[in-house]
Amino acid sequence: MSVQKSVDRLSLSRREEAFERQFLKRLQSWNSQSLWPGIILCVVLTWLAWLVSRLPFYPFTVASGQHPISVAALALAFGIIVGNALPSTVHFKRGTDIVIRKILPIGIVLLGVRLDFYDLIRVGLSALMAAVITIGVVIVLTHLIARVMGVNQKLGWLIGAGTAICGTSAILVTAPVIEAEEDDVAFSVAAINLFGVAVMIAFPILAALLKMEAELFGIWCGLSIHATPQVIAAGFAHYLDGQSAGEVATIVKLTRVSLLGPSVFVLGAFYAIQRRKHEVFVKHQKLNYLKLIPTFVLFFMGMALLRTLGFFPEVTLHMSDRFILGQQDYTLDLAGVIGETSMWLIAGALTGVGLNTKFRALKAVGLRPLLLGLTSTVVIGITGFLLAMLAITILL
C-alpha cells in the first residue's frame, strides 16, 4: 500500500513538473512574442498623462480653462522616463512597435477632422497671407539654420514644421512624409513643447511691458505660438482685454492649423524630389508625383474636406422618461468625438515612441538641435510680430 502511495506521489510530482515547465514556456513565449504587454503599458501611461494634464493648477490648467501642456507631450515624457527606468523593454517592444506603426497613422488620419477650410475664408485675406508667409519663412529659415549648425536635415524639418504650423500635430504628420526616425520625432516633440510653454508665459509679460493693444497681441500670438492651447492661454492672458485678444488669437491660429495639409504636401514633394536627386540609380526614371505623399496624408486631407463640407454633424438624442438617467436631450458632436479619439491614439503612439527612446540616443543628438528649436522660436516670434504690425496697419 505504501509502495502504491509512493508511486502515486512520484507520478503527481512529475505531472506538476511537466505542468510547471509548460507554464513557464508559455509565459516566456507570451512575454517575448505577445503584443499585449506593450499595448497595455502604452494605454496605462497615456491615461496617466491625461490625468496629469488635467491637474487643477498652473501650468497644467490656466485661468481660461485651457490645458497648455498636451496629453501627447506628457505621454511622450512618461514613455521616455519609464522606458529608461525599466531594466529591459524587450518584452514590450512588439506591442509598442504595433502601436507606432499601425495606430499612429490612424490617429493622424482622424486628426484631419479638426480642420475646417472655411476658417481660411472667415479670417480674411490679410490673416491668411500672414499665416502663409509665417509658415514659409520659418520652415525655410529653420532648414537653412539647421544646415549651418550641422543638425540632421530631417530633425531640422520636424522642428521647423512644429514651430511654424501647430506643434506636435505638425511633427507627427510630417515625420512619415520625410521618413524621420523615432529619436528625431521624440526630440523635436519635446523641444517644441518646451519652447511653446516658455513662449506662452513670456508673451503676456512682453505685451504688458510694451503696452501692446489687444488686437495686435492676439494676431501676434496666433502667428507665433506653437500649439493651439498655448495660443489660447496666452491670448486670454492679455493685461487689458483678454477676451478680444484671445478670440483674435484663436481665429488666426486656426488659420495656421488649416494650412497643415497643404504645407505637409509641399514638404513631402520637396523631400521626395531632393531624395531623388541623390539617388543615382533612379535619376533617369520618370517621377511619379502621385507617390510623393503617403496615402494616409491624403486621407488626412480628405477627412478635413469632409469636415468642411459638413459630413460630421452634431446629433441630438432625445431620451424618453424610461431612460435610466431620466428624460433629457444629449448632443453628440461627431467631429468632436473623432477628434478626441485621434488625440488618444496619437498620445498612445507617442508613449510607444518614448518607450523605445533611450537617454543615450537623445544625448547623442546634442545641444545643437535644442539651440535650433530656440532659434526657430525666436524667428517665428519676430516674423509674427512684424506681420501682425503690418496686418494692423492694413486693417486701419
| Cα distance between residue 319 and residue 331, in whole Å | 11
Interatomic CA distance for residues 59 and 73, integer angstroms: 13
Closest CA to 147 of 266, 262, 274: 274
- pLDDT of the residue at 364: 67
pLDDT score at 7: 45
Number of domains in the chain: 1
Question: Model's pTM, two decimal places?
Answer: 0.76
CA atoms within 13 A on the CB side of 108: 30
Q: Is residue 323 part of a domain?
A: no
Q: Is residue 28 part of a domain?
A: no
| Residue 20 domain-assigned (yes or no) | no
**Angle (CA) 151 153 157, round 5°:** 110
Kindly compute the dihedral angle of the four CA atoms of residues 261, 262, 263, 267, in this order, to the nearest 10 degrees. Answer: 100
The answer to the question of residue 328 being in a domain is: no
In the numeric block, the cell 503584443 is attached to 35
Q: Which domain holds residue 196?
A: 35-317+334-395
Mean pLDDT of each 10-residue bin along the chain, 396 residues long: 51 60 55 75 92 86 77 86 81 83 83 75 74 93 92 91 88 87 86 87 90 90 88 85 83 84 83 68 51 68 85 79 72 84 87 80 76 93 92 68
Torsion, Cα of 188, 191, 197, 200 (10° steps): -80
Asked whether residue 157 is domain-assigned, the answer is: yes
Q: Return d(Cα 148, Cα 378) in angstroms, integer.
A: 17
Look at residue 9 and tell me if it is in a domain. no
3-state helix/strand/coil string of 79-90: HHHHHHHCCCCH
Lookup: cell for 50: 491625461
Whether 231 and 222 have beta carbons less than 8 Å apart is answered as yes
The predicted structure's pLDDT at residue 14: 62
User: Rounded CA gap, 357 and 58, in Å?
Assistant: 28
Taking the CA atoms of residue 146, residue 147, residue 153 and residue 159 in that order, the dihedral angle to the nearest 10 degrees is 10
Longest dimension (CA), the chain: 108
In a domain, 22, yes or no: no
CA–CA distance, 230 with 380 (Å, rounded to integer) = 15
Q: Which among 223, 226, 220, 300 is positioned nearest to 262, based on CA atoms?
A: 300
Distance in angstroms (rounded) separating the CA atoms of residues 205 and 49: 29
User: What is the C-alpha to C-alpha distance for residues 393 and 177, in angstroms, rounded to an integer?
Assistant: 38
Let me know if residue 144 belongs to a domain. yes
pLDDT given at position 374 = 92
> Residue 149: which of 322, 372, 356 has the closest Cα?
372
